[in-house]
Structure 1
Amino acid sequence: MDIQRKLKRYGYHVVIAIDQLFNAIIGGAADETLSSRTYRGAVLAEQPKKRWRVLYRLINGLFFDRNHCKTAYESEISGKQHDERFLAGR
């Protein structure tokens, strides 16, 4: 693996960790990103609260991707953000 790819991977994991830390600080699960939690709250909840619907639009808008939160949720479910060393036993 070349150095540029290693740095990109490192940066990706750091950003995910910061996102998960922020989510935990505001009352979410330690191993879930705010985007994933927002998708669950805005789309998957039986009666979504207004704050989750607003945050859903805001986050998707910030990333210029109308499916960002959904993709984040799907990544959580599939374990995409996990290091391959953790996936070896699957």
Structure 2
Amino acid sequence: MSRRLDQIPIAIDQLVNTICGGWADETISSRAYRMQGKSGKFAKLRKLIDTLFFWQDNHCRSAWESEKNRLQCPPELRG
């Protein structure tokens, strides 16, 4: 049950990102990090998100690395 409760906010995050024109399986944090060099609004968004998640160092970068390494997938679908 705990893992399911952890997954719900991520699913909502991915839904909002998709509605805003992003990839379906990417969080807003990952997208902000990936797009920060291409758009000033994403650079500002990344700074805002990293500030909101102050207890995590480089939250957006960590989210992007997790997506890149497919850590959000079940172990049998990684790599």
Q: TM-score, normalised by structure 2?
A: 0.86
Q: Secondary structure at the match of 1:21?
A: helix
Partner of residue 8, structure 1: 2
Q: How much is the aligned-residue C-alpha RMSD, in angstroms?
A: 1.5
Answer with 1 or 2: which has the greater Rg: 1
Gaps of 5+ in 1: 1-6
Q: Indicate if the aligned counterparts of 1:13 and 1:81 stay in contact, CA closer than 8 A.
A: no
Partner of residue 25, structure 2: 31
Residue 13 of structure 1 deviates from its aligned partner by 1.3
Q: Distance in 2 between matches of 1:15 and 1:84?
A: 20
Q: Which amino acid aligns with 2:70?
A: G
Alignment: residue pair count:
78
Q: Which of 54, 57, 61 is 2:51 aligned to?
A: 61
4+ runs deviating over 2 angstroms:
83-87
Q: TM-score, normalised by structure 1?
A: 0.77
Gaps of 5+ in 2: none
Q: Distance in 2 between matches of 1:76 and 1:36?
A: 7
